[in-house]
Amino acid sequence: MIKNTLIEALGIEITNIERGKVTATMSVDHRTKQPFGLLHGGASVALAETVASLGAYELVDKETEGVAGLEINANHVRPKTDGVVTATATILHQGKTTMVWDIKITDEQDRLICVSRCTMAVIKRNK
């Protein structure tokens, strides 16, 4: 499912998936930096939506439902120039048609790099 996707292109590695919580890491390198050498905000948002999407997918009936990002916001609170960041998504609300996820992205010292909130749509699949 991850091969040939943005997840693979950015080097995102899923480290834990459980009901209501997902963790993943991403290197801060040439794939994820902006031209000034800092972690690109868009890469952080892609990481945040990835963990929220995977978490939401784990909570739906995979035979009849899918998920898609409906809205995402992010506050970039600390710059990062190298190393690895870790995103942890936890569910705040699980409804029949939407879910809301809280995502915190931290560095190796557990300092907050980015905080995000993502609303996921639960989509009925046609059989």
Question: Catalytic positions, please?
Answer: 49
51 contacts 24 by C-beta, under 8 angstroms: yes
Q: Give 30: exposed, middle or buried? Use CB within 10 Å, 0-12, 13-18, 19+.
A: exposed
What is the β-pairing status of strands 13-18 and 112-124? unpaired
Phi then psi for residue 59, to 5 deg, are -100, -5
List C-alpha distances in Å: 20 to 9, 35, 60, 99, 102. 25, 35, 11, 10, 10
11 contacts 3 by C-beta, under 8 angstroms: no
